Amino acid sequence: MLPTLVSLISLTPIVAHAALQVDLESPDSIKTAAKLVAGDLLSYYQGREPGHTLGILPGPPPDGDYYWWQAGAMWGGMIDYWYWTGDDTYNDIVYEAILAQAGPDRDFMDKNWTLSLGNDDQSFWGMTALSAAESNFQDPPQGEPQWLALAQAVWNEQASPDRRGPECGGGLRWQIQPTNRGYDYKNTIPNAIFFNMGARLARYTNNDTYAQHSTDTWNWLIEHVYIDDKFNVYDGAHIADNCTTVNKQQFSYNAAVLLLGAAHMYNYTNASKDWEARVSGLLDGIERVFFLNGTAYEPTCEARICLTDPISFKGYLHRWMAVSSQVAPFIHDRVMGLLKTSTRAAVDQCTGGADGRQCGFHWSTGMYDGATGAGQEMNVVGALASLLIEAAAPPLTNGTGGSSLGDPDAGSGPKKETDEFKQVTTGDQAGAGIVTVLLLGFAMVSLWFMVWK
């Protein structure tokens, strides 16, 4: 422990002045600080510059640090940032980015990413579209993809049997393509996001079908002990033994995305006792596992090495706890207490970089850890903005002013992408490996039509 700390300290430039200053009792001060960090975050986005791709962060590795999903998550954070602070500086960039990645079938499956796509990658973008609907983020004109319909397209595709298979009694697989590593893994995150989106779609549209699927998904997670009786939320299991050997690693995004979904189910059911107990239980688990003395902590990676993905999780944890407290008000006081102590710690370690205000990830140590990036900045924007939740409007619904246009059948029509695959497979450019993958993709698309119709 000690040598690590010493070497981190020596790497950290000593800057006496800057540091991120904020009075957490003052909404204006929070907004000022959040605006600075949001600007720092957007400095990682190069999508509008020549030679870069609109909508994504530099990557995916080895071309840059960030996978495709993380930009989708970042735009969701920026929608919350605008909705809670009122600062619309970045809205046009966010709008353009989401539409740029919606894909020709309007389901966040552009062919650039389809071959490496996981269900969770697709649904992180789906949740962002849903946040846009719930906040009346500027609606695209007629003829362009609509936020609610985009979310419904993702949900419909993930409800279909071809994303699941009969193993383990259903449940979404991690990967979509059979050739991808992880196709045999049925893990918590895609199922938890499907649960979350179903609960939010039910509340938004008042269509009970979504809620029924969310209840089924919850039961599936419980039955396979991906969520145990103490509300530990584990990572997943492989189909080889019918999902009976559960990988017990815990990541905060799993628990947080479930909390937000359960809070929406609580709200949608007009405060059912079952959902009340699940919301309470999940919050107990989150406080026990992911907070260290009131500060957000990612146990599975902070004790060792954190790769890029988990580094953005603390922002989701804060934001999704905050929205949960709006739709399940009985947890409001507990949530705000945690968010305040944690945000204090988050801000206090933002002393890095040449300007002395860049943020690290190890909030509970009380000092900048020597490394910054889009994930670290996303977390602190999310934490600061979440403190404004008490004065912010709750997520809208179709019945309370939400204007986004939906399409219950989105995602189930003929696929334009199928034709594009056809062109590639008949050309010479694709190597043998890729052709195999594409042919398998074809077989799946045909199967998908058979099952769906």
Ligand X SMILES: *[C@@H]1O[C@H](CO)[C@@H](O)[C@H](O)[C@H]1NC(C)=O
Which of 233, 327, 371, 383 lies at the binding interface for ligand X (CB under 6 A)? 327
403 is a contact residue toward ligand X (CB under 6 A): no
Give the residue carrying structure tokens 């003052």. Answer: 26
300 is a contact residue toward ligand X (CB under 6 A): no
> Which region among 9-17, 175-183, 269-277, 306-314 touches ligand X (by CB under 6 A)?
269-277
394 is a contact residue toward ligand X (CB under 6 A): yes
Which residue has the closest beta carbon to ligand X?
Answer: 169
169 is a contact residue toward ligand X (CB under 6 A): yes
Q: Is the peptide bond before 62 cis (omega within 30 degrees of 0)?
A: yes
> Which region among 36-44, 206-214, 253-261, 437-445 touches ligand X (by CB under 6 A)?
206-214
> Which region among 6-14, 324-332, 349-357, 431-439 touches ligand X (by CB under 6 A)?
324-332
294 is a contact residue toward ligand X (CB under 6 A): yes
324 is a contact residue toward ligand X (CB under 6 A): no
The identity of residue 105, as a single letter, is: D
* Nearest residue (CB) to ligand X, 31 versus 213: 213
Q: What is the DSSP secondary-structure string of 72-115?
A: HHHHHHHHHHHHHH---TTHHHHHHHHHHTSTTTTSS--HHHHT
Which of 156, 179, 180, 300 lies at the binding interface for ligand X (CB under 6 A)? 156
64 is a contact residue toward ligand X (CB under 6 A): no
Phi then psi dihedrals of residue 25, to 5 deg: -85, -10
> Which region among 83-91, 201-209, 353-361, 384-392 touches ligand X (by CB under 6 A)?
201-209
207 is a contact residue toward ligand X (CB under 6 A): yes
Which of 38, 132, 168, 189 lies at the binding interface for ligand X (CB under 6 A)? 168
Phi then psi dihedrals of residue 155, to 5 deg: -65, -45
Sign of CA dihedral 254, 255, 256, 259: positive
* Nearest residue (CB) to ligand X, 15 versus 340: 340
CB of 167 to ligand X, least distance (A): 7
d(CA 180, CA 301): 24
341 is a contact residue toward ligand X (CB under 6 A): yes
110 is a contact residue toward ligand X (CB under 6 A): yes
215 is a contact residue toward ligand X (CB under 6 A): no
Give pairs for 400-405: CB < 8 Å, separation 24+: 401/136, 402/133, 402/134, 402/136, 402/148, 402/204, 403/136, 403/139, 404/132, 404/133, 404/136, 404/139, 404/146, 404/147, 404/148, 404/149, 405/139, 405/146, 405/148, 405/149
Q: 236 and 187 in contact (C-beta within 8 Å)?
A: yes
Interior CA angle at 135 toward 132 and 138, to 5°?
60
CB of 128 to ligand X, least distance (A): 15
CB of 209 to ligand X, least distance (A): 4
State how beta strands 291-292 and 246-247 pair.
unpaired
Residue 149 three-state SS = helix
101 is a contact residue toward ligand X (CB under 6 A): yes
58 is a contact residue toward ligand X (CB under 6 A): no
* Residues 353 to 392 in contact with ligand X, rule: CB under 6 A: none
User: By rule CB under 6 A, what count of residues binds ligand X?
Assistant: 29
CB of 427 to ligand X, least distance (A): 16
* Nearest residue (CB) to ligand X, 87 versus 420: 420
Residue 432 three-state SS = helix
Q: What is the DSSP secondary-structure string of 362-428?
A: -GGGTS--S---HHHHHHHHHHHHHTTGGGSPPPP-GGGT------TTTT-S--HHHHHHHHHHHSS
Q: In what order do the strands lie in the sheet with 246-247?
A: 185-187, 236-238, 246-247
280 is a contact residue toward ligand X (CB under 6 A): no
Could you list the residues that contact ligand X (CB under 6 A)?
A: 53, 100-101, 110, 112, 156, 168-169, 205-207, 209, 242, 267-271, 293-294, 326-329, 341, 394, 398, 406, 408
